[in-house]
Amino acid sequence: MLNFLLENYMKIISKSGEHLFIAAIALVLGVVVAVPIGIAISKSKIASKVVMTIASVLQTIPSFALLSIMTIIGVGKLPAVIALFIYSLLPILRNTYLGIVGVDANTVDAAKGMGMTERQVLFEVKIPMAMPVIMSGIRLSAVYVIAWTTLASYIGAGGLGDFIFTGLQNYIPPMIIWGTIPVTLMALLCDFFLGKLEARMSPYKKSGGDVVEA
């Protein structure tokens, strides 16, 4: 175990960086796309049902099948990022929608009564109030994406999946273990730091109240 680590620590660090890069790009794209869509569909029940259904269907596609489909555009990091981006959408989309529609109606009415425009209500009331729920979805998606990135090695994207699947195919337990441990640590650390960010962005924290995680 330790001998394998000492002999391959540079490869482990390199693969970890590669793994984190792929996961981070997919997650950022998921946030950039899913949050605005989640806000937009909060204004229409029909639109929300249609979009949520599509996102749910995409989520049910087996990961290997989706990665295989992505090979029509080639192999490597690009198809892996696209596949992981698709998987990242549903938790962020759902929580953004639920967070926005869950804002207390009396608070919204009070803001409008003060003369706020719809845009001001959205950016100064709804989004800040919904932020803990939105961040909870991002945290969940981040953990999923980091875990699913291991599968990206099957289409030549690299990452720690190279260690895990090579170890499984050749029965090299230390390779499996030292491929799995960094993935687990990354997922835990990402969840921890996003949780801290969620708490800092919560309007309840600013008001001195307790933050309740979704």
- The whole-number pLDDT of residue 190 equals 94
Task: Please list the pLDDT of the chain residue by residue as tens digits (214 residues).
Answer: 788 888 888 999 999 999 999 999 999 999 999 999 999 999 999 999 999 999 999 888 888 888 888 888 888 999 999 999 999 999 999 999 999 999 999 999 999 899 898 899 999 999 999 999 999 999 999 999 999 999 989 898 989 999 999 999 998 999 999 999 999 999 999 999 998 888 887 765 554 444 334 3
- The whole-number pLDDT of residue 6 equals 85
- 68 part of a folded domain: yes
- 17 part of a folded domain: yes
Can you give the pTM of this predicted structure? 0.88
- The whole-number pLDDT of residue 17 equals 94
3-state secondary structure the chain: CHHHHHHHHHHHHHHHHHHHHHHHHHHHHHHHHHHHHHHHHCCCHHHHHHHHHHHHHHHHCCHHHHHHHHHHHCCCHHHHHHHHHHHHHHHHHHHHHHHHHCCCHHHHHHHHHCCCCHHHHHHHHHHHHHHHHHHHHHHHHHHHHHHHHHHHHHHCCCCCHHHHHHHHHHCCHHHHHHHHHHHHHHHHHHHHHHHHHHHHHCHHHHCCCCCCCC
- 214 part of a folded domain: no
- Domain of 39, CATH number, reads 1.10.3720.10
- The whole-number pLDDT of residue 143 equals 94
Q: How many domains does the chain have?
A: 1
- 213 part of a folded domain: no
Q: Which residues constitute the domain of residue 136?
A: 7-205
- 82 part of a folded domain: yes
- 211 part of a folded domain: no
- 212 part of a folded domain: no
